[in-house]
Amino acid sequence: FVRMTDQYDHYWSYLYAGLYMKQIEAQWRKAGFPIDGDVAVLSTLYNIGFANSVPKANPQVGGAAIEIGTKTYSFGGLAADFYNSGLLTDIFPR
């Protein structure tokens, strides 16, 4: 827990997030519904947790509601918008 919450060393929290995403992709691929690289769906599943990850043919984007100004976004949708914006790719290359 201490490694995951170290505010000066984010390595372990990034590693955990990456491994979690790979596990979600493997779970869905094994069930016959590959979602590899689908940022919106992967972000949604990250947000709602592995226990709620139920592979199906038509996964929906969602997750927690995030209000910005007068507009409400879903966690998964906002994550995909940010990823697709290309912002911070100089720091976090794809």
**pLDDT tens-digit series, residues 42-76:** 999 999 999 999 999 999 999 999 999 999 999 99
> Quick one: how many helices (H) and strands (E) in the chain?
3, 2
Res. 40 pLDDT band, cuts 50 70 90: very high
Tell me what pLDDT residue 7 has: 85
Asked whether the whole model's pTM tops 0.75, one would answer yes
Give the whole-number percent of the chain exceeding pLDDT 70.
Answer: 100
Instruction: Please tell me the distance from the alpha carbon of residue 26 to that of residue 29, in angstroms, as a whole number.
Output: 5
